[in-house]
A and B are shown apart, each in its own frame.
Chain A
């Protein structure tokens, strides 16, 4: 009716924390492991596979968010989507502003900062909206 999952809505936050936590743990482990496993003398295929190891937990984390969305109730879905939409808009402005400032001499940033920046914006909008709704 409201959620699209057989899991009771009240179990959704705990399940999400577990699933997302596992993904982040695997991500950190993959980041550390690839430094240890990387062999510059190995075949190109093996080198790429080792370097790309963190990609799998990143996609698993995305799936964890999707599964969480399917478990939560209608109001929680609205709140989640509103928060991420505002975060994405804020981040778009932030990225554009910084890109323009790079022309003024600011250092260019690696694209690996994209997701942490969006995550920080998402966390901030969620926290601000929760505070406003109290």
Chain B
């Protein structure tokens, strides 16, 4: 699943550690989602959307 996590994080001047703290996950998890090696669970996807003030589908898109 593709996502705009890195772009959105950089736009807001957040480090991976900052985002990890806000989501209460490890920095490793944030990195894995950004590099598309891991797809978050639904609760985590909702939490990510809440942090960025966007809808889930504005952040995550299915692979073509």
| Segment at the B interface, from A36-44, A69-77, A107-115 | A69-77
Q: Which residue of B21, B38, B43 contacts A2 across the interface (Cβ within 8 Å)?
A: B43
Q: Which residue of A lies closest to B43 (CB)?
A: A1
Q: How many A-B residue pairs have CB under 8 A?
A: 40
| Segment at the B interface, from A3-11, A18-26, A57-65, A89-97 | A3-11
Q: Please tell me the number of chain B residues within 8 Å of chain A, measured between CB atoms.
A: 15
A75 close to B24 (CB less than 8 A): no
Q: A75-B38, A76-B26 are in contact. Are A1 and B32 (CB under 8 A)?
A: no
Nearest Cβ in chain B — how far from A127, in angstroms?
A: 16
Q: Please tell me the number of chain A residues within 8 Å of chain B, measured between CB atoms.
A: 11
- Chain A residues contacting B32 (CB-CB under 8 Å) are 75
Say whether chain A's binding surface is mostly helix, strand, loop, or mixed. Answer: loop
Cβ of B47 < 8 Å from any Cβ of A? Answer: yes
CA distance A73 to B40 in the complex (A): 11
Q: A2-B41, A10-B20, A10-B21 are in contact. Are A73 and B26 (CB under 8 A)?
A: yes
Q: Which residues of A contact B (CB under 8 A)?
A: 1-3, 8-10, 72-76
Give 20 A-B pairs besides A3-B24, A10-B20, A73-B29 with Cβ atoms closer than 8 angstroms. Answer: A1-B44, A1-B47, A2-B23, A2-B25, A2-B41, A2-B47, A8-B21, A8-B24, A9-B24, A10-B21, A72-B26, A73-B24, A73-B25, A74-B44, A75-B25, A75-B28, A75-B29, A75-B32, A75-B38, A76-B28
